[in-house]
Amino acid sequence: MSVGLETALVEDSPAAEAGEAACPECGGPIPERFCTRCGEKRVEARDYSLGHFLAEALNVIANLESPLPRSFSALLFRPGLLTSEYLAGRRKRYLKPLQLFVLCNVIFFFAQPLTGFNTLTTPLNIHMSGMPYRQRAQRMVQEELGRRRVPLEEYRARFDAVIQNQAKSLVIVMALMFALVLLPLYWRRRRYLVEHLVFATHFYSFFLLLMTAQRFVALPAFGAARRLGVMTREYSFDFVFTIVLLTLCGVYLYFALHRVYRQGRPVTLLKCVTLAFSVAVILQTYRFVLFFTTFYTV
C-alpha cells in the first residue's frame, strides 16, 4: 500500500471524521490516550506544564523499572555486572555505557564546586607546585607572562576558567587509555578493543562517582587537618587523597575483573595491582595533557 493511499484511508476513516486526533508517529487515529497502531501517547495541553515535566523526571528516577536506578545500583554495588551483561547482549535493562558515563560526568562536575577541591580540573597552582612536570610548567608560565606582560593572578584566573571547560570533554580520554592497558593484559582472551572500552567506561563511571563521594567525606577531614596545622598545602592533601582513591579503586577492580574476565583469583589480583597503578599513571598523564591543551588555548 502506498503512502498516499494509506494517508487517504486514515483521513477517510470514521475516527478521523469524528474528530479524533491523528498520531504524530504513524498518522493513525488516537481514540483515547494511546494510538491503537504504535502505542504513542496522545499529546494534551497539560503535557506542556512544568508540573507534568517534573513529574515525568521524578518518575524516571524513582521508578524501579527504569534503567536509571537499576544501572546505578549495579555500577556501585555489583562491580563488573554492567559490562558482563552488555557483552552478553542483555542491554535493555540498563543504560548504555556512554549514557551512564556522561551522566556520571555531569554529576561529578556539578558537585565539584561544592567540595572546594579540584581533582580533574587541576588549577594552575597545583600544576606549578605539585606535579612531576612542575619545573617545566613554571618555566612555560613565566615565559608566557613575560610575553603577554600580565600579572600571574590575572593569567591564573584565565587558565583555571578554561581548564574547567576542557576537563569535561577530556575525561573520556582516561577511559580510552585504560582500555589500551587492558588490551595487552588480556590478549590471550581474544577480546576486541571495544569490549575493553566498555569495561573501562563503566569503571571510570564508578571512578567519577567515587571521587564525588570521597570529596564530600574528605572535606571536613581536610578542614580539621588545616586547623591542626597538618597538611596545610593543597598538594599534600591531593597526594593522600590519591592514595586512598587508588586503594578503593583496586578493591573495586578486583571484583569487576573477576566477574568480567573470569580468571583465577591470583592472576586477577596481579592484574588488579597493575591496573590500579595504571590508574595513577593515567591520571597524571591526563593532567599533563590537560595542562598543555589549556596552556595553548587560554
User: For 248-281, how does the pLDDT look when each residue is reduced to its tens digit (9 = 90+)?
Assistant: 999 999 999 999 999 999 999 999 999 999 998 9
Read off the pLDDT band of 5 (50, 70, 90): very low
The one-letter amino acid code at 247 reads T
Does pLDDT of 17 surpass 60? no
Residue 97 makes CB contacts below 8 A (sequence gap 6+) with 82, 86, 198, 201, 202, 205
User: For 20-33, how does the pLDDT look when each residue is reduced to its tens digit (9 = 90+)?
Assistant: 567 777 777 777 77
Question: For every residue of 157-181, which 3-state class applies, written as one string?
Answer: HHHHHHHHHHHHHHHHHHHHHHHHH
The confidence score (pLDDT) of residue 54 equals: 67
Pairing of strands 21-22, 29-30: antiparallel
Instruction: Report the chain's C-alpha Rg in angstroms.
Output: 26
Q: How many CB atoms lie within 10 A of CB 272?
A: 21
Does pLDDT of 129 surpass 90? no
Does pLDDT of 135 surpass 50? yes
61-70: which pairs have CB atoms within 8 A and are 24 or more residues apart?
Answer: 67/92, 67/93, 67/94, 67/95, 68/95, 70/94
Mean pLDDT of the chain: 81
Read off the pLDDT band of 131 (50, 70, 90): confident
For the chain, which residues make up each domain, given as ranges?
A: 3-43, 78-295
CA 124/CA 128 separation, integer angstroms: 6
Bridge partners (DSSP) listed for residue 94: none
The confidence score (pLDDT) of residue 69 equals: 87
Extract the C-alpha cell encoding 181.
592497558
Question: Which letter does DSSP use for residue 47 in this model?
Answer: G
Q: What is the pTM of this model?
A: 0.73
User: For 65-122, how does the pLDDT look when each residue is reduced to its tens digit (9 = 90+)?
Assistant: 568 889 999 999 999 999 999 999 998 889 999 999 999 988 888 887 666 566 677 8
Instruction: Determine the average pLDDT of the residues in 214-238.
Output: 65
Q: Coil, strand or helix: which one is 88?
A: coil
How far is residue 99 CA from its own chain's centroid?
8
Calculate the alpha carbon distances from 6 to 13, 21, 27, 197 in Å: 11, 16, 9, 46
